[in-house]
Amino acid sequence: MNCSVVKAAGYVLVHTPDMILHNGTTQTTEKITNPDSEYLKKVPEHIRPYEEVVNYAPNQAYIGNITPEELKGYEMPWYDKDVPNSNRFGKFGEIMPQDEFIGLLKISDAFDLVKLEKEFVKVIKEKLSAHPFFNENDLAKIKEGEELSEIEVQVKDHHAEAIYNHGKLVGCVKKAHEIDVNLNAHVMYENLVVKASGILAFKHLLHNNKIDPAEIEYVIECSEEACGDMNQRGGGNFAKAIAESGEAINATGSDTRGFCAAPTHALIKAAALVQAGVYENVVIVAGGATAKLGMNGKDHVKKGLPILEDVLGGFAVLISKNDGVNPILRTDLVGRHTVGTGSSPQAVITSLITAPLDKGGLKITDIDKYSVEMQNPDVTKPAGAGDVPTSNYKMIAAIGVKRKELERKDLGSFVEKHGMPGWAPTQGHIPSGVPYLGFAREDLTEGKLNKVMIVGKGSLFLGRMTNLFDGVSIIMERNPGNIEEKVTGASKEEVKTMIAEAMRDFASHLLKE
């Protein structure tokens, strides 16, 4: 089977301290229900400066500067320990500061909805001009700016969504329609954030891997937001909007939604499209969600911790036709949580983990690494949710014992060998499976691993349409080399010559008869 491959990956984070207070749902809900709460008063004291965010070990792992194995070497908790020689830029992407990202919001604005204050524009254009990705055409989209008084009027009298930097009003996002709630300023702000962070991840994917954007033929966007209007509220299309901004002139695309499971659904879809020959190069991409900022902030503040959910997360992955080098995606070994699966942990693990293994004649121990819900435990443990990745690995190991593929005494060593610490921000769709794809590509080409499994799970009941949740998985493995060459023992050209000669011989035989 001539499988598609994971050719490249890009990952970005955006530090958004002001958006925690003004756009994260935990904080905005508190403002409505309890505006004088002690929590809201304490939030500013618990927000980390940009330098601490860059130095934070899970963030350095996310952009590829330290590996999951190296992260494991840092004693928990991680928030009070800096990574030596940490950097804003990594081999997979970057950690962008808030002010530059606000400039990127304007670059991403196709309908002149983002208004920025004049003095802020001067500063931000100069900063973005030094960024390796933004050219004169991009910078030209940031106009001279507005008087602060004009922005204040938009926010106060016309229901525009305010944009803050270091506590100061520096801009706003206008509503896109007078009465359509799907185009109000709040929704437009959220959607522009998704688009802008998706563009940043897309650009890193292309730039860091020297990929010609004109070679991209299809884009699948798989974040948790939806764009549309009152007639089609989730109509889309973030994918094509991001492709346009990334100068992928030959691409079309569509959006895929499935809560946290969406990226793994998108990965499987991309793999199938390429394997079927519909497209040669497909990118899956997702931007970040402002709603998730500071989601567990109350628990963090209560325990005297900084608010650790202070970054937007984005990623982009390129799926291409088999090149004989990069790891393949086994579309014949896909796990899925079906309607009839049930919700017990054993049923879920069976459907997502053991069903595809059984189909491939594999044991649980044949998978070198499982990438499950890779949430950062620094965030989840203080909130009472425990260490989510470790819990998943323990469940997989327990099933392995039940299947007699693992001794009970080896439960701990299984987690150590086949698991990884979580390093992904709690951005909903971001943690499930996909944070490891960049490292997995390296581990399956330059490293010693042979097989990994990417798992995504989603809570569909959050949409109030069903009580079900969802999940899919797929196995990635080391590329055995060019399939045609491996089967025939000859090169493509030699195969063509052999076929031509056979056809000539057959024709000659017919003529003689």
Please give, one letter per residue, the 3-state secondary structure of 171-186.
EEECCCCCCCHHHCHH
CA angle 161, 219, 317 (to 5 degrees): 95
Q: What is the pLDDT of residue 394?
A: 95
Contact 300, 453 (CB under 8 A): no
Q: What region, left, alpha or beta, does residue 172 occupy, with left being phi > 0 and alpha being psi -120 to 50 degrees? A: beta
| Residue carrying structure tokens 């996002």 | 173
Establish how many alpha carbons lie within 13 A of residue 62's alpha carbon, considering only the half-sphere containing its beta carbon: 33
Q: Which CATH architecture has domain 5-481?
A: 3-Layer(aba) Sandwich (3.40)
Tokens representing 381? 């443990």
Q: What is the pLDDT of residue 452?
A: 98
CA atoms of 345 and 348, how far apart (whole Å): 5
Sign of the CA dihedral running 157, 160, 165, 166: positive
Residue-wise pLDDT for 388-416, tens only, equals 999 999 999 999 999 999 999 999 999 99
* Averaged pLDDT of the chain: 93
Instruction: Characterize 1-15 residue by residue with b for buried, 16 or more Cβ atoms within 10 angstroms of its Cβ, and e for exposed.
Output: eebbbbbbbbbbbbb
With residue 472 as reference, give the H or E element that holds it: strand 470-477
Contact 113, 180 (CB under 8 A): no
Torsion of CA 14, 16, 17, 22, to 10 degrees: -160
Q: What is the DSSP letter of 451?
A: E
In percent, the amount of the chain with pLDDT more than 90 equals 89
More confident residue, 495 or 100: 100
CB within 8 A of 352, min separation 6: which ones?
Answer: 335, 336, 337, 455, 457, 471, 472, 473
Residue-wise pLDDT for 41-91, tens only, equals 999 999 999 999 999 999 999 999 999 999 999 999 999 999 999 999 999
CA angle 145, 151, 155 (to 5 degrees): 150
Contact 364, 447 (CB under 8 A): no
Contact 356, 329 (CB under 8 A): no
Contact 188, 161 (CB under 8 A): yes
Instruction: Characterize 450-475 residue by residue with b for buried, 16 or more Cβ atoms within 10 angstroms of its Cβ, and e for exposed.
Output: ebbbbbbbbebeeeeeeeebbbbbbb
CA atoms of 321 and 279, how far apart (whole Å): 8
Query: Which of 262-271, 316-325, 341-350, 380-389 bottoms out in mean pLDDT, i.e. has the lowest?
Result: 341-350
CB within 8 A of 502, min separation 6: which ones?
Answer: none
pLDDT-based confidence at residue 500 (cuts at 50, 70, 90): low
Inform me whether the pLDDT recorded for 196 exceeds 80.
Answer: yes
pLDDT-based confidence at residue 103 (cuts at 50, 70, 90): very high
Single-letter amino acid, residue 235: G
Q: What is the pLDDT of residue 345?
A: 81
Domain ranges of the chain: 5-481
Instruction: Tell me if the bond preceding 382 is cis, omega within 30° of 0.
Output: no
Inform me whether the pLDDT recorded for 495 exceeds 50.
Answer: no
User: pTM surpassing 0.75?
Assistant: yes
- Residue 47 phi/psi, 5° resolution? -95, 130
Q: What region, left, alpha or beta, does residue 159 occupy, with left being phi > 0 and alpha being psi -120 to 50 degrees? A: left
**Bridge partners of 219?**
253, 283
